[in-house]
């Protein structure tokens, strides 16, 4: 069996870092991933996917990731149940990052560097 996902996109915001009660570190990032096909209007839709990044990888992403950076995430999908009132249950899906590769820097940083060198 195989549970693997690969996503490439841009970070929509700075990583949200949390330290859990048991001392583990987790960071949440949202990746804007453009679909590979056009919609009925002839434009590309974008999906916004929340990713959980744990422990050492969370520390690394905290240091290097900023809004607008393009990254590739290799990870897995994990499900969990959330109980609602009246004995209802909701199944939630998480993407858990196992490896992150930085593909570009922030577009704004690149623009600032070009403007400063002019």
pLDDT tens-place string over residues 15-45: 989 999 999 999 999 999 999 999 999 999 9
Domains (ranges, CATH) in the chain?
5-117 (2.40.50.140)
**pTM (2 d.p.):** 0.77
Span 44-67, pLDDT tens digits: 999 999 999 999 899 888 878 888
8 touches 70 (CB < 8 A): yes
pLDDT of residue 63: 79
100 touches 118 (CB < 8 A): no
How far apart, in whole angstroms, are the C-alpha atoms of residue 45 and residue 57?
A: 29
Span 8-19, pLDDT tens digits: 999 999 898 999
pLDDT of residue 100: 92
49 touches 7 (CB < 8 A): yes
Bigger pLDDT: 118 or 31?
Answer: 31
Query: Integer distance in angstroms from the first to the last C-alpha of the chain?
Result: 54
Ramachandran category for residue 112: left, alpha or beta (phi over 0 → left; psi -120 to 50 → alpha)? alpha
51 touches 28 (CB < 8 A): yes
pLDDT of residue 118: 36
Residue 113 pLDDT exceeds 50: no
Containing 91, the helix (H) or strand (E) segment is strand 88-102
Mean predicted confidence (pLDDT) in 93-107: 85
Bigger pLDDT: 49 or 118?
Answer: 49
DSSP-assigned beta bridge partners for residue 18: 26
- Cα 64 to the center of its chain, rounded Å: 14
């Amino acid at each position: 069996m195989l549970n693997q996902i690969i996503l490439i996109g841009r970070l929509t915001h700075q990583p949200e870092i949390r330290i859990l009660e048991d001392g583990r570190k987790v960071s949440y990032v949202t990746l804007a991933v453009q679909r590979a096909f056009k919609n009925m209007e002839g434009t590309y839709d974008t999906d916004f996917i929340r990713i959980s990044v744990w422990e050492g990888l969370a520390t690394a992403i905290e240091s290097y990731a900023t809004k607008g950076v393009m990254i590739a995430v290799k990870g897995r999908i994990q499900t969990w149940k959330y109980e609602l009132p009246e004995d209802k249950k909701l199944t939630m899906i998480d993407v858990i990052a196992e490896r992150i590769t930085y593909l570009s820097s922030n577009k704004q940083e690149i623009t600032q560097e070009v403007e400063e060198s002019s």
